[in-house]
């Protein structure tokens, strides 16, 4: 990188702000589209880059993270880039060790097992020191994007990170993480609150580094009962959005909340400072719109498994899903991310179908 590409100023002028306008429910010429996990193992060029480096080493190398972020944009006419990183870097910054184990996914050899483990975490971590590599990658990518499309920054939601910290990996039941909520709600709140505070500092710094839109991933929200979501997930999600906006200004950056599986959460998030709710494929867009009194924009929500279908099947599914949203305040995406065994041509078909569908509609 050249010296000026590491400075978070004099960024190229943005040429395509469709996704920012859609997030604010403003007029758009067509519905913007991007794909969760658009950079990843389904792309041969992803598997070929940074050979010999493990996943987190790639995240920690800004030039590589930037190159990976740009890979899907070379192939597909998508309307946003998302910085290549991972939600788990926050737990690393708090002092936990995490390995990306082939065939198993992220693994913490020493998960949280008692109150003392929580007290030992580095709550006062300086995010610039521990996660400076993410901000460098964001700044570099924002320059290299040349204003082509906006750059999305992201973080994991407190409940989802709490679940990883305690389970030590993914889980079907999240029984260890959930048992804390029943056995020691006080300590649970302490850990959730600690994660929230670091996440706010992290997201604010991402925006200062050049991120233009933020998404918070609560991938495991659906493992909670509605009561527990209300007590242990929603307040922290809400706090993240309000604290980020209090720090940066209300209009500084639109924010997307993806509470996967949390069907009953629409009305809880409706009064929050999020601009966009991201819906998984089991959610009904029209029900979500009713529950939020049409204040919010929506993202989603094609079943990712439709990507296994033919181009025609994908096209039909895109038309079906998009007609449920209408065109104002919609960001086209899937209900979750790409999987390694999906084909790149499916993303091409998906993006093309979104373009075709929305150019046939009156958007204003
Ligand atoms: O295009 C993008 O979206 C890139 C950025 C990105 C990654 N992870 C890259 C990644 C984002 C936004 C994430 C978020 C993330 N990470 C979430 C929330 C989104 C979701 O999918 O629900 C979660 C739960 C994680 C934790 C995590 N990291 C998992 C479950 C895995 C997969 C492990 C496996 O082996 O299947 C990862 C690894 C990961 N994160 C990869 C990528 C490209 C693949 C790792 C590799 O290269 O080996």
Predicted confidence band of residue 359 (pLDDT cuts 50, 70, 90): confident
Residue 72 Cα: closest atom of ligand 1: 1
Looking at the chain, the whole-number percentage of residues with pLDDT higher than 90 is 94
Q: Using CB atoms within 10 Å of the CB of residue 294, give its burial: 0 to 12 exposed, 13 to 18 middle, 19+ buried.
A: middle
**Tokens found for residue 240:** 């993240």
Interatomic CA distance for residues 3 and 23, integer angstroms: 33
How far is ligand 1, taken at its centre, from the CA of residue 174, in Å? 18
- Mean pLDDT for all residues in the chain: 96
- The ipTM value here is 0.94
Residue 213, by phi and psi: left (phi above 0), alpha (psi -120 to 50) or beta?
beta
CA distances from 302 to 54, 133, 305 (A): 31, 33, 8
Structure tokens at 273: 């400072």
Atom of ligand 1 minimally distant from the CA of 219: 22
pLDDT tens readout for residues 177-229: 999 999 999 999 999 999 999 999 999 999 999 999 999 999 999 999 999 99
Pocket test for ligand 1, best of 86, 157, 221, 334 (most atoms within 8 A of CB): 86
Q: Which atom of ligand 1 has the smallest separation from the CA of 215?
A: 12
Closest CA to 16 of 138, 145, 115, 107: 145
Ligand 1 atom closest to Cα of 103?
A: 35
Per-residue pLDDT of 144-185, as tens digits, reads 999 999 999 999 999 999 999 999 999 999 999 999 999 999
Question: Angle between the 234-248 and 185-209 helix axes, to the nearest 10 degrees?
Answer: 30
Contacts of residue 240, Cβ cutoff 8 Å, sequence gap at least 6: 155, 157, 158, 196, 199, 200, 203, 216
How many Å is the maximal CA-CA distance in the chain? 59
pLDDT of 352 reads 97
Determine the average pLDDT of the residues in 307-334. 96
Q: How far is the CA of 55 from the centre of ligand 1 (A)?
A: 10
Closest alpha carbon to 19 in 185, 274, 253, 302: 253
Lookup: tokens for 182: 């029943």
The number of the ligand 1 atom at minimal distance from the alpha carbon of 58 is: 47
CB atoms under 10 Å from CB of 293, counted, come to: 11
Which protein residue has the closest C-alpha to ligand 1 atom 2? 37
In order of their start, the domains of the chain are 3-359 (3.20.20.210)
Query: 42-76 pLDDT, tens per residue?
Result: 999 999 999 899 999 999 999 999 999 999 999 99
The Å distance, Cα 359 to ligand 1 centre, comes to: 32
Separation CA 103–CA 53 (nearest Å):
16
Of all protein residues, the one whose alpha carbon is nearest to atom 22 of ligand 1 is: 219
Can you give the pLDDT at residue 363?
A: 47
- Cut 0.90: pTM above it: yes
- State the distance from the centre of ligand 1 to the C-alpha of 86, rounded, in angstroms: 6
Separation of CA 43 from chain center:
19
Residue 362: predicted pLDDT: 53
Q: Report the pocket of ligand 1 as residue ranges, CB < 6 Å.
A: 36-41, 55, 82, 84-88, 100, 105-106, 154, 170, 217, 219, 337
Per the listing, tokens 């991201």 go with 278
The pLDDT of residue 293 is: 82
Please name the residues in contact with 187: beta carbons below 8 A apart, sequence gap of 6 or more.
115, 118, 180
Closest residue CA from atom 39 of ligand 1: 86
> How close is the Cα of 181 to the center of ligand 1, in Å?
26
If pLDDT is split at 50, 70 and 90, which confidence band does 295 have?
A: confident
Nearest CA to ligand 1 atom 3: 37
Cα 338 to ligand 1 centroid, rounded to whole Å: 10
Q: Which residues pair with 316 in a beta bridge?
A: none
Q: Residue 331: pLDDT above 60?
A: yes
Please provide the DSSP assignment of 108-161 as one string: -SS---SHHHHHTS-TT--HHHHSHHHHHHHHHHHHHTTTSS-EEEEEE-HHHH
CA of 30 to the centre of ligand 1 (A): 29
Give the three-state DSSP class for 39: coil
Taken in order 214, 337, 43, 97, the sign of the CA dihedral is positive
pLDDT over threshold 60, residue 89: yes
Q: Give the position, in ligand 1's atom list, of the atom nearest the Cα of 47.
A: 47
Q: Is the pLDDT of residue 294 over 90?
A: no
Q: At what angle do helices 344-359 and 62-75 cross, to 10 degrees?
A: 60
Token match 């960024």: residue? 11
Strands 330-334 and 255-259: unpaired
Task: Look at residue 364 in the predicted model and tell me its pLDDT.
Answer: 43
Phi, psi of 143 (to 5 degrees): -65, -45
Residue 120 has pLDDT above 80, yes or no: yes
Ligand 1 atom 24 nearest Cα = 219
SS3 333: strand
């Amino acid at each position: 990188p050249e010296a000026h590409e590491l400075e978070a100023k004099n960024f190229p002028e943005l040429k395509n702000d469709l996704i920012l306008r859609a997030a604010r429910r403003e007029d758009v010429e067509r519905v913007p589209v991007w794909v969760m996990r658009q950079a990843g193992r389904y792309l041969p060029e992803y598997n070929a880059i940074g050979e010999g480096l493990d996943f987190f080493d790639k995240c920690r190398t800004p030039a590589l993270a930037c190159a990976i972020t740009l890979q899907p944009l070379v192939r597909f006419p998508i309307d946003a880039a998302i910085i290549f990183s991972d939600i788990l870097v926050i737990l690393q910054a708090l002092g936990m060790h995490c390995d990306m184990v082939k065939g198993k996914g992220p693994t913490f050899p020493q998960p949280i097992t008692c109150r003392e483990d929580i007290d030992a975490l580095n709550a006062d971590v300086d995010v610039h020191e521990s996660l400076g590599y993410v901000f460098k990658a964001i700044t570099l990518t924002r320059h290299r994007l040349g204003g082509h499309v906006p750059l999305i920054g992201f973080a994991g939601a407190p409940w989802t990170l709490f679940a990883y910290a305690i389970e030590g990996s993914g889980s079907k039941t999240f029984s260890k993480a959930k048992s804390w909520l029943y056995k020691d709600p006080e300590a649970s709140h302490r850990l959730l609150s600690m994660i929230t505070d670091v996440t706010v500092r992290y997201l604010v710094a991402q925006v200062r580094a050049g991120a233009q839109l933020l998404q918070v991933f609560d991938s495991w929200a659906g493992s909670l009962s509605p009561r527990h979501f209300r007590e242990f997930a929603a307040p922290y999600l809400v706090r993240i959005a309000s604290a980020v906006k209090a720090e940066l200004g209300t209009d500084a950056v639109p924010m997307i909340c993806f509470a996967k599986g949390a069907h009953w959460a629409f009305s809880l998030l409706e009064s929050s400072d999020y601009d966009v709710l991201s819906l998984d494929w089991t959610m009904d867009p029209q029900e979500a719109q009713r529950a939020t009194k049409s204040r919010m924009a929506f993202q989603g929500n094609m079943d990712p498994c439709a990507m296994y279908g033919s181009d025609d099947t994908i096209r039909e599914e895109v038309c079906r899903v998009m007609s449920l949203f209408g065109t104002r305040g919609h960001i086209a995406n899937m209900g979750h991310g790409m999987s390694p065994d999906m084909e790149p041509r499916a993303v091409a078909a998906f993006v093309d179908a979104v373009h075709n569908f929305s150019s046939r509609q009156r958007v204003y």
